[in-house]
Amino acid sequence: MTIHIGAKPGDIAETVLMPGDPYRAKWAAETFLENPVCVNEVRGMLGYTGTWKGNRVTIHGSGMGMPSLSIYVNELIRDYNAQTLIRIGSCGGMQRKVAVRDVILAMTASSLSTPSSGIFKELNFAPCADWSLLRAAVSAAEAKGTPTHVGGIYSSDVFYDERPDINEQMTRHGILGVEMEAAELYNLAARHGRRALAVLTVSDHLLTGEALPSEDRERSFGDMVEIALEAAFA
């Protein structure tokens, strides 16, 4: 048990999928896992452990933004020995070739700052995904026939962004999508020698203005969860 996670020793699997929304964690666990058990509900941040094809998996919310994710990932690694951490979440498309409902596999994650910026000081550290997870996720997506893009994403500090110039430069430099958590996940995985990947569903588009209605999101997010699970145990 930690300050933010009420799970007992052994309650958390070595493989953890992390949506931002705790209720999406509940939905994913009940939809994809066998015999899911709620192992955390401290501060309403839900976590469930069950099995997928005989493999133990925990699906645990991270909250919104890198500071929140940093709290949970630090505790999952330090106190529960999580070895593989995969973010499953939504993002905004930033390229014309990326369509709403497509999946983005984040090879790298650019950012203005992260909770790790104080450690790196003047260094511009380049956080990236674990290659074995990324390769397995590409194979899983191809097998499913899911429209998928592999490349860099942008992890923003803010949701209501008032710096359109930054988005313009991200788009200019080929960034596929924007979200708010992956860069710090990759930082922490690198620091602690763990495997990490972000598998993202495009829920809206910054260039076209298109967005998924809320009632359609869960159906569209199913491919993302299956790709993450396949990649984790490839």
Q: Binding site for a purine D-ribonucleoside, residues?
A: 4, 179-181, 203-204
- Helix crossing, 214-232 with 22-32: angle to 10°? 60
Task: Enumerate the known binding-site residues for phosphate.
Answer: 20, 24, 43, 87-90
Encoded tokens for 226: 């299956």
Encoded tokens for 58: 């925990």
9/179 Cα distance (integer angstroms): 32
* CB atoms inside a 10 Å sphere around CB 111: 22
Choosing from 79, 161, 204, 216, which is the catalytic residue?
A: 204
Q: 57 CB contacts (<8 Å, ≥6 apart)?
A: 13, 15, 16, 17, 33, 49, 50, 51, 229, 232
Query: What string of DSSP letters covers 202-225?
Result: EEEETTT--B--HHHHHHHHHHHH
Task: Enumerate the known binding-site residues.
Answer: 4, 20, 24, 43, 87-90, 179-181, 203-204
C-alpha distances in Å from residue 23, one per residue of 6, 60, 108? 17, 10, 27
* 204 classed as catalytic: yes
Q: Contact at 8 Å (CB) between 87 and 182?
A: yes
Active site residues: 204
